[in-house]
Amino acid sequence: MLRKHRPRELTILDRVYEHISLPPLVVAAIDTPAFQRLRSLHQLGASSFLYPGAVHTRFEHSIGVAHMARTLLLNIQHHQPDLGLSEVDIELGMLAGLLHDVGHGPFSHLFEDVVSRRCGIEFNHEDMSEKIARRVLGDLVPQTHVDVVVGLMRGKALLGITYGEIISNKRNGIDVDRLDYFIRDSMCCFGKPTVDVRINRLFNSARIVCEEGQWQLAFEQKLALSLREIFTLRAKLHKNVYQHQVTKAIGHMIGDVIHAAAPRMPFDPHIYRVAYSSSLDITMRAPMAAVDWAAAILEHAHPSFPLNADDFIAEVVVINQGKGTADPLESVLFFNPKKPSQPLTRLKPAEDLKHGSPLFTPLQFEERTLMVFERRPTNGAVQRACERLNADPKYAAFFTESLPFYNTK
């Protein structure tokens, strides 16, 4: 038997999917303290200072991912009975979706960045999620099933598992984790999804196929434009929410607080207490990124307006559609249901236009922005240094435009 404990089946009301049914095994995992702490972890961290409605939690997101995993696997089970997906497979997929974020610390990615980069403590939420998931599942399922769930969380399926990319798809980013937070985050920030993504239509047109010995998701060719909208939504959320200048500025302030409080934080060697804690008790890459921009700004400080390295923060913000400078749509497999004997295809640029529209195909897929934040008033010294840097021919190739400084008075 898969289950060692049988709590009740549970139906909950969710803002995105309305009614979600959860089998007893998944409910048992939800009822653990490790998962319950996600109730107090905001999904978007500092973004709630920019969008007051963005106060949803990793608790509801994780349940949404579990629900999406079940919906997708049920569709695959219906359309591809030859794959032999069982109830056990579906529950393991749900558990992977449920626990994929359980290792996040307070303030989510912001905490991870500050602790690792500024405090010198090795911390990775994926590694922590695996450790916690193994502890949670050890009392619920056999060890072989624990290994399957962890593999799904990592996007590294064990041998014989055909649905290894549904939770974490490193090939092109189309997975149930991203789909849930794209939709949920846009609803909480903007009031409604900002693109027309019909998940049921997408899942009904999805199949699991084997190409060159690797199992992966494929979609009907008619879904090319819908997938393009999903990739575009990713870039929009990064631009307007996750990496917005206000989010970044607040994040740096919180980062300074975490860094200052780090000596009094209750870290243990494995950071389990931090991972299980709901909040912090603070009273106790590419050529552009390769440039040391803080040093470059200091170098261009006006003699009459001296600067110190602690006066400001310089950060390169990278926004793309999930595959760097490449078009992620070219990493998606497509099939034609009317011609089942036709081989699987990947869209090339010309075919992309054929199945979509030049109006919806970007000329470039990545942008890099140098953001500069003052830690304290500098009487215009930072602004003048940035203006001198921007006018320096040595750095002219790095910038296409310069936005005005915000008035902080």
| pLDDT for position 271 | 42
Look at residues 374, 372, 369, 373 and name the one whose alpha carbon lies nearest to residue 401: 369
Instruction: Say if strands 18-22 and 10-14 run parallel, antiparallel, or are unpaired.
Output: antiparallel
Same domain, 136 and 99: yes
In a domain? residue 145 = yes
Q: Structural domain tally of the chain?
A: 2
Query: What is the SS3 assignment for 243-306?
Result: CCHHHHHHHHHHHHHHHHHHHHCCCCCCCHHHHHCCCCCCCCCCHHHHCCHHHHHHHCCCCCCC
180-214 pLDDT, tens digit per residue, is: 999 999 999 998 876 666 888 899 999 999 888 88
114-151 pLDDT, tens digit per residue, is: 776 666 667 778 888 999 999 999 989 999 999 999 99
Look at residues 236, 195, 227 and name the one whose alpha carbon lies nearest to residue 320: 236
- Give the residue carrying structure tokens 């579906």: 90
Mean pLDDT is highest, among 61-70, 228-237, 265-274, 287-296, for 61-70
44-54 pLDDT, tens digit per residue, is: 988 988 999 99
Average of per-residue pLDDT values in the chain: 80
> pTM for the whole thing?
0.75
- Dist CA 164 CA 6 (whole Å): 26
In a domain? residue 219 = no
Kindly state the tokens that stand for 207: 């199949």
Indicate which residue of 67, 125, 252, 300 is catalytic. 125
- Of 264, 295, 324, which residue sits at a domain end? 264
CATH code of the domain in which 136 resides: 1.10.3210.10
Q: Is 302 a catalytic residue?
A: no
In a domain? residue 321 = yes
Same domain, 161 and 39: yes
pLDDT at position 339 over 80: no
Same domain, 260 and 290: no
